[in-house]
Amino acid sequence: MELLVTDILQQKILSDLIDYKSWDLTDRQICDLELLLNGGFYPLNGFLNQNEYESVCNNMRLKSGELWPMPITLDVNEVFANTVTVGDKIVLRDIEGVPLAVLEIESKFQPDKTKEANLVFGTTDLKHPAVDYLFNTAGNWYLGGKLLGLQLPTYYDYVEHRHTPKELKALFAKLGWDRIVAFQTRNPMHRAHFELTLRAAKSAKANLLLHPVVGMTKPGDIDHYTRVRCYEKIIEKYPQQTSYLSLLPLAMRMAGPREALWHALIRKNYGATHFIIGRDHAGPGNNSNNQPFYDPYGAQKLVEKYANEIGIEIINFNAVSYVENKAQYLPSDEVEVNDKVLDISGTEFRKRLRNDLDIPEWFSFPEVIQILKATHPPKYKQGFTVFFTGLSGAGKSTIANALLVKLLERGDKPVTLLDGDIVRKNLSSELGFSKEHRDLNILRIGYVASEITKHHGIAICAPIAPYENTRNQIRTNIEQYGGFIEVYISTDINVCEQRDRKGLYKKARLGILKGFTGIDDPYEIPTNPEVILDTSKLSVTQSVQQILLEIESQGYLSRN
Ligand code: PPS
């Protein structure tokens, strides 16, 4: 059931909006709001209030007793929470400020995040993406209440593949499909997925709904544009008029078993009658001890328990494997002792993609490989960032400039130098040297470098960047797109102070300049830099040579 108001009511609400406070929704909240409004999260009628939240976390049920395993909450920061109170109406807006819904606040509370993490995800390990999100991104206050939907978020990409539950159900009715098996995925589909879905549809005597998630998936996943191009090729491989592709704007939590139950309920809302649960459904990979977060068959076991009340039939599927001597895919329990099973691991597959090596047709369709190869260029075609860090006067700028010249001489890719002083003049002229301002300065540099890297260029950054956490944040962002080579200029502070080219150490010692790095402001030594250089022991040429060798050994520069 959709929560969107009628046009007349919408006009009235829009004229009242001026009196309401506004909350700008985060990417995840926009996904959640869309499914709340379009009925994908039925029976929810808004963001959970405290009672419902506790009931969902503890029992996977709403107060009414209905099954609902995932807390859907509107998290806000303390500053905003302090401006609103129970009974208020607030406007929820998208990133461009378009009002999407009005929330009537019924409940405002501070969650016990540790408890939530343990109950919902079974862990407080920050390697779990949703736990990390909970502790490091989500606000500390939750607002709960009913929603009045004004409009659904607008999309311009793949509009033809996007459907609300109502639209999808109407389409199935028109096509005369009354048995529909839904397949969830957040990855490009290869032959094994194709065979598995085909078998599932055949065994259920049902039509197939490819229902990939295009909202938020696991950080580091292949972007949805690339994936949808692959799905468009795959859907053509199924027997005609048996299968349909529709995109689901869900923000996944990677919560394994609980998530599988949630996925099944959502697919029921979208009109599916059957849902495939495979091995390690919605698993987030390994924890900090290198152990899987969830039992690979935990999802199947949990959903099984609720089989009688979920209202959608589950098709459990073991992994399928390619049996070379039979030239076909078989479920693992049908493989015989003497069969020769072929496999290519995820890591091996990525390596082959990146190095433009052969990927056999039994593993994936050539059309899919072609799309993936185009978006995974070999390393020497990718961009990278060389990120210098070190004290003032350590020699960052000198080496960065010499590296710039060497890279320009080679001419492989366009190079941009983001030196500390240049950035402070052009990008961050209003900033000082407080922790907050330094972080902002470094994050801006990191953002520009990530854009350069994404577009296959070379960024050389040379700020002090004294804080490890901020440097790591930038690394994570840039490594999605290409290389990140951290170069720690380890020159001792005494040497830097003796050099004192700008006379700043002297001023800092005299107390005229406050908060100077290394004197009365901290410098956190990098734990795992790719290169360490002490400019009191190495010449500029030697230093640059070491960096070039590191870049080459990582494969980001061609040898010819
Ligand atoms: S940071 O911490 O990364 O944002 O610093 P950065 O943008 O690299 O700017 C450092 C240059 O600013 C001058 N300067 C200071 N440095 C450190 N601490 C304080 N308080 C300070 N005030 C001014 C200094 O010249 C730095 O340049 P380099 O090239 O590192 O010597």
Biggest alpha carbon–alpha carbon distance for the chain:
83
Query: How far, in Å, from the CA of 414 to the mean position of ligand 1?
Result: 27
User: Per the residue annotation, which of 28, 38, 93, 186 is the catalytic one?
Assistant: 186
Query: How far, in Å, from the CA of 17 to the mean position of ligand 1?
Result: 46
Q: Is 154 a catalytic residue?
A: no
Query: How far, in Å, from the CA of 248 to the mean position of ligand 1?
Result: 47
Same domain, 212 and 109: no
Inform me whether the pLDDT recorded for 560 exceeds 80: no
Domain range for 209: 161-375
Give the CATH number, domain containing residue 21. Answer: 3.10.400.10
How far apart, in whole angstroms, are the C-alpha atoms of residue 250 and residue 448? 29
What average pLDDT does the chain have?
Answer: 95
| Ligand 1 touching residue 438 (CB < 6 A) | yes
Which residues on neighbouring strands pair with residue 283, listed in sequence order?
none
**Distances from the Cα of 37 to the Cα of 45, 147, 165, angstroms:** 8, 8, 10
428 assigned to some structural domain: yes
| Ligand 1 touching residue 397 (CB < 6 A) | yes
Kindly report, residue by residue over 481-501, the tens digit of the pLDDT.
999 999 999 999 999 999 998
Inform me whether the pLDDT recorded for 14 exceeds 80: no
Inform me whether the pLDDT recorded for 9 exceeds 80: no
Kindly report, residue by residue over 361-373, the tens digit of the pLDDT.
999 999 999 999 9
Same domain, 324 and 200: yes
Same domain, 138 and 242: no
How far apart, in whole angstroms, are the C-alpha atoms of residue 110 and residue 75? 9
For residues 316-330, give the mean pLDDT. 92
Same domain, 182 and 300: yes
Task: Check whether the bond before 43 is cis (ω within 30° of 0).
Answer: yes
Q: Number of structural domains, the chain?
A: 3
**Residue-level pLDDT at 244:** 98
Boundary of a domain, candidates 360, 375, 390: 375
Boundary of a domain, candidates 127, 149, 171: 149
Same domain, 539 and 457: yes
Same domain, 165 and 122: no
pLDDT band at 55 (very low <50, low <70, confident <90, very high): very high
245 assigned to some structural domain: yes
Inform me whether the pLDDT recorded for 8 exceeds 80: no
Same domain, 90 and 72: yes
Same domain, 453 and 371: no
For residues 414-436, give the mean pLDDT. 93
* SS3 category, 45: coil
Q: What percent of the chain has pLDDT over 90?
A: 88
1 assigned to some structural domain: no
Same domain, 357 and 392: no
| Ligand 1 touching residue 515 (CB < 6 A) | yes
| Ligand 1 touching residue 352 (CB < 6 A) | no
**Residue-level pLDDT at 375:** 85
pLDDT band at 7 (very low <50, low <70, confident <90, very high): confident
| Ligand 1 touching residue 389 (CB < 6 A) | no
155 assigned to some structural domain: no
Same domain, 268 and 342: yes
Give the CATH number, domain containing residue 311. Answer: 3.40.50.620
User: Per the residue annotation, which of 123, 187, 226, 401 is the catalytic one?
Assistant: 187
| Ligand 1 touching residue 516 (CB < 6 A) | yes
Query: How far, in Å, from the CA of 409 to the mean position of ligand 1?
Result: 29
How far apart, in whole angstroms, are the C-alpha atoms of residue 253 and residue 284? 9
| CB of 274 closer than 8 Å to CB of 206 | yes
140 assigned to some structural domain: yes
Q: Is 51 a catalytic residue?
A: no
Q: Is 59 a catalytic residue?
A: no
559 assigned to some structural domain: no
| Ligand 1 touching residue 499 (CB < 6 A) | no
Going by C-alpha positions, the residue among 348, 325, 323 that lies closest to residue 335 is: 323
* Residue minimizing CA distance to atom 15 of ligand 1: 516
**Residue-level pLDDT at 512:** 95
How far apart, in whole angstroms, are the C-alpha atoms of residue 241 and residue 208? 10
Query: How far, in Å, from the CA of 464 to the mean position of ligand 1?
Result: 6
154 assigned to some structural domain: no
Query: How far, in Å, from the CA of 515 to the mean position of ligand 1?
Result: 10
Boundary of a domain, candidates 91, 126, 149: 149
Kindly report, residue by residue over 282-322, the tens digit of the pLDDT.
999 999 999 999 999 999 999 999 999 999 999 998 788 99
Cβ-proximal residues to 14 (8 Å cutoff; 6+ apart), any chain: 99, 150
Going by their DSSP bridges, the two strands 458-462 and 384-390 should be labelled as parallel
Identify the H or E element spanning 275.
strand 274-277
Same domain, 223 and 365: yes
Inform me whether the pLDDT recorded for 234 exceeds 80: yes
User: Per the residue annotation, which of 73, 185, 389, 517 is the catalytic one?
Assistant: 185
Same domain, 241 and 132: no
Give the CATH number, domain containing residue 418. Answer: 3.40.50.300
| Ligand 1 touching residue 421 (CB < 6 A) | yes
| Ligand 1 touching residue 502 (CB < 6 A) | yes
Which residues on neighbouring strands pair with residue 91, listed in sequence order?
22, 102
